[in-house]
Amino acid sequence: MESMAFIDAVNSNDVVAQTVRCSFDVHLLEIIGTLTLGGTLIMLRPDGILDLEYFSSVIKEKQITCIQAVPSLFRNLFNVFIETCQSIRSLRLRSLCISGEAFTPDLSKVLASYTEEKCLIWNIYGPAETINSTFQRIYPAAKTTMIPIGLPMPSELYLGGVGVFAGYLERDDLTAKALVEIDGELFYRTGDLVRMDNNGLLHYQGRKDHQIKLHGQRIELGEIEQCLLKTSISACVVMKWNDDYLVAYVQSSHIN
């Protein structure tokens, strides 16, 4: 709910149509989310979502601004507006949250033709076990051939193959942290965060820990900080400076 509010998928000024059955997870976002944010929730009559002429009239009469539904429903709903010669652009639709099925390019073309450019269109992905995991804004005017579900997130790089070592000598604790077995094959957890682009190429994004490289040497900043704290220092932070030096910011245990 907080995420939907953050991206302005729904806000306190919205009039939201309650379209999702209570057997689906997203009904919580639709009902509780709308009411928590101070919006207006319009309840349809039983099975009203199946009567598209009725639903289209509710959208128009109640001046619905936000709808959450599957792509097939949006496609059929827009067909009703077109067949009955109703002006879709005259509606107050501000945010369309589309989930539950694949968002296809043909639906994007329909939305490009019959919605205002300022209307927010979201492709939402996520199984019931995670509710809505990703939100990707779709720009129908872009005429894309593939509809994304979200942006790639940096993840830790695991390396496998014959070159992976067997473990650290007499350091089973470190070995357990560094190696993981997947389908009978050992992989080394690099700790490096990478992102894969559209061409399948990996790009380095940083570290998942505080390890750095200085002049080709791997350095654990936390180990240096722990050594400093064993002296007359109460607090410290060690960081790399201009790729050339390590700098320690310290606070003495003796205030005076």
CATH of the domain at 232: 3.30.300.30
**Domain assignment of residue 147, yes or no:** no
Q: Which residues of 105-122 are buried (b: 16+ CB within 10 A; e: fewer)?
A: eebbebbbebbeeebbbb
DSSP string, 46-73: TTGGG-HHHHHHHHHHTT--EEEE-HHH
Phi, psi for 107 (deg, rounded to 5): -70, -35
Cβ atoms 115, 91 nearer than 8 A: no
237 pairs with which residues across the strands?
249
Residue 214 tokens read as 């200085």
Q: Could you tell me whether strands 217-220 and 40-43 are parallel, antiparallel, or unpaired per DSSP bridges?
A: unpaired
Residues 186 and 102 occupy one common structural domain: no
Query: Total structural domains in the chain?
Result: 3
Residues 13 and 75 occupy one common structural domain: yes
Residues with Cβ within 8 Å of 57's Cβ and at least 6 positions away in sequence, in order, are: none
Report the Cα 62 to chain-centroid distance in Å. 31
Give the domain range for residue 181. 155-207
Residues 166 and 216 occupy one common structural domain: no
Mean residue pLDDT across the chain: 87
CATH of the domain at 24: 3.40.50.980
Amino acid at 137: R
Which residue would you say has higher pLDDT here, 85 or 163? 163
pLDDT tens digits, one per residue of 188-215? 999 888 888 778 888 888 888 888 878 7
pLDDT tens digits, one per residue of 102-155? 888 888 888 888 788 889 999 988 776 677 778 888 988 887 777 888 877 789
159 pairs with which residues across the strands?
188
Judged against a pLDDT cut of 70, whether residue 255 lies above it is answered with: no
Let me know how long the chain is: 256
Residues 108 and 38 occupy one common structural domain: yes
